Structure 1
Amino acid sequence: MKTQENKIIEKAAGIIMNSGVEELTVHNLADKLQIKESQLYLQLKKDDDILLILLLSFEREIIESLSGMEQSSDSPENKLKIIFKKLHFMFLQKPYYLDIIFDKNLKNRDKSITNSFLRIRQLAENYLRDIINKGKTENTFKTRVSTSVLVTKILSDFRTFMKDEQRFHEVILEMKKLQTSKD
């Protein structure tokens, strides 16, 4: 089963990278997997189920990246640097995660998609809150700004930075589409 899920993730990521999130359908995925659509419908009831698999994979990767960081003897400042480097690297390696997160229709999708996205966001907020509070306790972070404001600001700035990365990917995708139409 895990092998099938990995194939689905791989082919779904390819669809997103080459055609965009809007082209991620059960029909297109079945075509890429070279199986009958009816076979895929046994596992995926609707198009949003594909996105859910990708979001759950993203959530697992974040949890894996964070595991062990709590027990690390690194300073809170270094922990922040390490985790943002890891996340940035993950997004560079798998930019389709950005395409999903910044999908303009994300809020209109199935409730399971919204819940998954909110869980990921809550995971990030909790992790940052813990590091910042520890840094304040240890006097590494000397600020009177509330932790919740800092968390919001950090996530907002990282989101802006990653949105720029995603826009860059969109430009590349458009260039690929133009090249394909010329050929």
Structure 2
Amino acid sequence: MTMTKVLGAGCGALLVFLLGNFAAEMLYETGGGHGEGEHAAGYVIEVASNDAAATDAAEGPSFAELLASADVGKGAKAFGKCKACHKLEDGANSTGPSLYDVVNRTVGTEEGFAYSGALVAVAQTWSPENLDQFLENPKGFAPGTKMSFSGLKKPEDRANLIAYLDTLDD
């Protein structure tokens, strides 16, 4: 008999909950369209905007500005992601070519390294701008490249790394 009372109380509570839910939906109908339709709640307020200023603010500083203010010390730290495959000594190739004097070097000319040919098709020199694009997304910049690195997503990291690599030929 006690089990029957417990089961009846549970069913009664469920019934009250479902009826309460039904009543609440009837009273506070929102339309379910997230702001669309005849029962939409809220208002659209149009404001004048300066699209050029909004775009500039969203994009942040240019690559030239980032490179001019780059931190060579942080670039040396960022190189930690590269050192598994690249060496900094002149002519010391590894899985990847030596990065000594790479900034403004002709693409695909490191002596003793077998390039895939994909890089020569997209750039002639490793200018800071080309390095930036390559380091952001190697496979996207040079489809078919042997470099399996996924890239450096932060523009500041790329600028710091390029500034660091540019100091190696001094």
TM-score, normalized by the shorter chain, greater than 0.5: no
Greater helix proportion: 1
TM-score range, shorter chain: under 0.3
TM-score normalised to structure 2 length: 0.21
Please tell me whether Structure 1 or Structure 2 has the larger radius of gyration of its CA atoms: 2
